[in-house]
Every structure is written in structure tokens, then in C-alpha cells.
Amino acid sequence: MIDTSLIYIEQEGCYLLLHRIKKEKDVNKDKWIGVGGKFLPDETPLQCALREAFEETGLQLIEPEYRGIVDFKSVGWPEERMHLFWADRFSGTLKDCEEGVLEWVEKEKVHALPQWEGDRIFLKLLEERAPFFHLELAYEGDRLVKAILDKKTLL
């Protein structure tokens, strides 16, 4: 299983999203997602989140909140455990990202962008300020075929 951290950075009613358009072989190609990536050896979820946010955005997060764990299963891809963070405090200057284009997007407009169907579930949980959660998502290609939130089947 691959461990990753994903961070949604919020400012003035907007999320900083990464439009993944720069890499050809990218499972997230053309999708709009938060920033993040894979753990380095011996890294904790928080260390990964802080490092990835800085590498991809140039921003140093201040006390990001660890909000949940999302497990992904998809035919043809290794299983992934994603550690989800949210932050609204940071320092630094936004820089260009090698993996896509960063853009501040109004939260009300995020749902209209191309993204994974399961992302809509955990973004709703972030918006609702839901307590720490565990979400299991299974995909066949781009289609979400199973969603289980804290052992309760949603799909």
C-alpha cells in the first residue's frame, strides 16, 4: 500500500487547487485536486503534508488539521492510503508547480470542476467540519463503485 498526504488549503472562501495538466502519465491527469504526494521513508502523515505543501506551493502551513484517512482501491493501480489535511494558515509566497497549475477556486465552484467522484464526498466532510473519519473508495476506471464512510456504506 502506498501512503500519501493530501492537503486542502483554504483562504477567503477559496481552496488552493492543483489542476493536474503537466504530466502525461498521471492518474490524476486533467483533475482538480488538493496538493500532496507520497511519503518519504520514515515520514509521518504530518511531515509529508508539510513537505509536499511547501514543495508544490512554496507555502509553509501553520498547524494544519488532520481530518481523515481515505483508502483507495482501483484495478490496475496499487492500493493507497491517503491522509487528508486542511489548513487555513500559512506563510510564504505561492510559486509555480511542476505537476500542474495552482489556482484559488471559490469553494462553491469546486464541485463543477473535473475531479474524482470520491473527492466530492470528502470535500463535503471537510465543509461540514465532520469529526475525524475513515473513508474507503473503490473505483473501476474513473467510476466510483463503492464508498464506505466509517463502516457505513454510502455506495
In a domain, 21, yes or no: yes
pLDDT in tens, 61-114: 999 999 999 999 998 889 999 999 999 999 999 999 988 999 999 999 999 999
Determine, yes or no, domain membership for 146.
no
Secondary-structure percent of the chain, ordered helix, strand, coil, rounded to 5: 20, 50, 35
Count up the domains in the chain and report the number. Answer: 1
pTM above 0.85, yes or no: yes
Structural domain includes residue 37: yes
The Cα 70–Cα 134 span in angstroms is 6
The 3-state secondary structure of the chain, one letter per residue = CEEEEEEEEEECCEEEEEECCCCCCCCCCCCEECEEEECCCCCCHHHHHHHHHHHHHCEEECCCEEEEEEEEEECCEEEEEEEEEEECCEEECCCCECCEEEEEEEHHHHCCCCCCHHHHHHHHHHHCCCCCEEEEEEEECCEEEEEEECCEECC
In a domain, 16, yes or no: yes
Judge whether 101 lies within some domain.
Answer: yes
Contacts of 151 (CB under 8 A, 6+ apart): 134
Q: Which domain holds residue 60?
A: 2-70+82-132
Question: Is residue 149 in a domain?
Answer: no
pLDDT of 20 > 80? The answer is yes
Examine residue 66 and state whether it is found in any structural domain, yes or no: yes
- What pLDDT, in 10s, does the model give residues 38-56? 999 999 999 999 999 999 9
Q: What is the CATH number of the domain that holds 12?
A: 3.90.79.10
Kindly state whether residue 140 falls inside one of the protein's structural domains. no
